[in-house]
Structure 1
Amino acid sequence: MSNKPDLNQADWVKSSYSGGNGGQCVEYSKTFVHSGTVPVRDSKHPQSSVLIFSVSEWSSFVSAVKRGEFST
């Protein structure tokens, strides 16, 4: 049995940090949080690979972004 979620059921949300200029666009799905995972994909290439993070990993990443740890 696979632990990979059925991404056909995913409701995707574009990150508010992606902006509207067609640049670095990330989408994530809250659909599977109850099972402990957060799928993440490139919104410019939605049919390409999806990264699967644990809820803890995703929360740590989002917190780091909010603190500006990845600013350019």
Structure 2
Amino acid sequence: MSAMPRNVPASTDLYDVRWLRSSYSTGANNCVETARPRSGPWSGLLAVRDSKDPTGPALLFSAPSWAGFVAALR
């Protein structure tokens, strides 16, 4: 079994995704966006990208990893 991917070089490589931005975000593109890929090797993971660079890389997290990260921020 191979390891789960941890990132994609270009978020445009993620197919069939809808990027969502936090409701706390301003119009200045100073936040992160998240998406849940539905197919391919990224299915079931959470993708996170910088809203200032929508074609740039995206980090991939499992649901428990992301929940732990967000909980640590609070």
**Alignment TM-score, normalising by the size of structure 2:** 0.63
Runs of 4+ aligned structure 1 residues displaced above 3 Å come to 3-6
Q: Which runs of 5+ in 1 are unaligned?
A: 68-72
Q: How many residues align?
A: 62
Does the CA contact (< 8 Å) of 2:47 and 2:59 recur in 1?
A: yes
Which structure exhibits the higher relative contact order, with contacts defined as CA atoms closer than 8 Å and separated by 6 or more residues? 2
For residues 1-72 of structure 1, what are the structure 2 equivalents within 5 Å? 7-17=14-24, 19-20=25-26, 22=28, 24-32=30-38, 35-65=43-73, 67=74
1:62 CA displacement: 1.5
Q: Distance in 1 between matches of 2:27 and 2:16?
A: 28
